[in-house]
Amino acid sequence: MPGWRFRLLGLVLCLPLLAGGCASQRSTDGTPASASQDAPATVETAFHRLPAQPYTPPDWPEALSARVYLPDTPGDTKRPAALVVHGGGWQRRGPEDMAPIAERLAAHGFVVANIAYRFAPEYRFPAQLHDLQVAMAWLHDHADDWRIDTERIVGVGYSSGAHLVSLLGMQHAGSPLDRPYGGEDTRLAAVVAGGLPSDLLKFDDGRLVVEFIGGTRAEKPRAYRLASPARQVTENAPPHFLFHGNLDSLVPVDHATDMYARLAEAGVPAELYLQRLRGHITAFLTRDGAMEAALSFLDEQLASLEKEE
């Protein structure tokens, strides 16, 4: 797309969002609209991975584990952490899909928990959200052992994993889904969501969504609304970095653009990184540029929260 056309498109998209003042958008090939040519090189950190760690209580309906990555950072300084969640339509795949992303986060200095969660249709919504909430409480329990700064835990996911971390981020005191497993220990400082299905009411009662919710939109309208991050956005939502293929036919790009608009309208810091000529799978497979931009976004959002022992 010629530069003048993108600038015009960016102006049109941003005009209704100026009141929020916190959102930004990157061009459709992932290039920052005002990229610095003198950006400092990223310093990577060595890390090691622990054996699979069970994170669910003994009486949980299904035993679940996390792959934990620990940066080899010296001293007693607390580190940020990332809860990483895989996609697969809420009913397949596993943490191994997210291993390269987990490794990239660990190399950037994050303690990483790359988790499994319960699958639909055996387990319906909100069981998967409960899994994430329990995982967050578990990270807090290990904060001293792993030197986690609990004020700087972020959620990172793709596709249905992006849906779950974004939905987790929307919970706050008084939210219908904040109990019985939520609370202050489950709050996220920021979210990175790729290929995010942000509004489940947009889908035409497809099998995956119906099996996840346990009914159609007509049968369970309230559950669909509660399960849609875009419909739960408030000023309490954490900052969001959204990346999405502009040719995604599985989760159309308006899930990202609408979510971005709602976050901006609520005054929540947000960035939208559109991947030109990418579909749902290719956006994930060619995500390196998006992840580098996401790390920059996280650094900026977490800087003011950093604490030292």
Domain assignment present for 133: yes
Q: How many domains does the chain have?
A: 1
pLDDT at 46 over 50: yes
Give the confidence band of 24 by pLDDT, cuts at 50, 70, 90: low
Amino acid making up residue 288? D
Residue range 231-251, pLDDT digits in tens? 999 999 999 999 999 999 999
Residue range 266-298, pLDDT digits in tens? 999 999 999 999 999 999 999 999 999 999 999
Strands 190-194 and 65-71: unpaired
Q: At what angle do helices 99-107 and 288-302 cross, to 10 degrees?
A: 40
pTM over 0.85: yes
Round to whole Å and give the CA distance between 102 and 69: 7
pLDDT at 252 over 70: yes
Give the confidence band of 304 by pLDDT, cuts at 50, 70, 90: confident
Domain assignment present for 16: no
The reported pLDDT for the residue numbered 307 is 61
Domain of residue 76 covers: 45-302
pLDDT at 162 over 70: yes
pLDDT at 309 over 80: no
Round to whole Å and give the CA distance between 242 and 24: 10
Domain assignment present for 309: no
Domain assignment present for 4: no
Domain assignment present for 183: yes
Stretch 198-209: mean pLDDT:
97
Contact indicator for 132, 69 with CB cutoff of 8 Å: no
pLDDT at 10 over 60: no
The reported pLDDT for the residue numbered 35 is 32
pLDDT at 30 over 60: no
pLDDT at 25 over 80: no
Residue range 120-144, pLDDT digits in tens? 999 999 999 999 999 999 999 999 9
Give the confidence band of 1 by pLDDT, cuts at 50, 70, 90: very low
Tokens of 52: 């699979």
pLDDT at 42 over 90: no
The domain spanning residue 182 has which CATH number? 3.40.50.1820
Q: At what angle do helices 127-141 and 160-170 cross, to 10 degrees?
A: 70
Stretch 60-66: mean pLDDT:
98
Give the confidence band of 2 by pLDDT, cuts at 50, 70, 90: very low
Share of the chain above pLDDT 90, in %: 82
- In 3-state terms, what secondary structure has residue 39? coil
Tokens of 78: 């607390």
Domain assignment present for 17: no
pLDDT at 71 over 50: yes
The reported pLDDT for the residue numbered 183 is 97
Contact indicator for 270, 263 with CB cutoff of 8 Å: yes
21 or 255: which carries more pLDDT confidence? Answer: 255
Tokens of 26: 């990157």
Domain assignment present for 70: yes
Q: Average pLDDT, whole number, for the chain?
A: 88
Domain assignment present for 82: yes
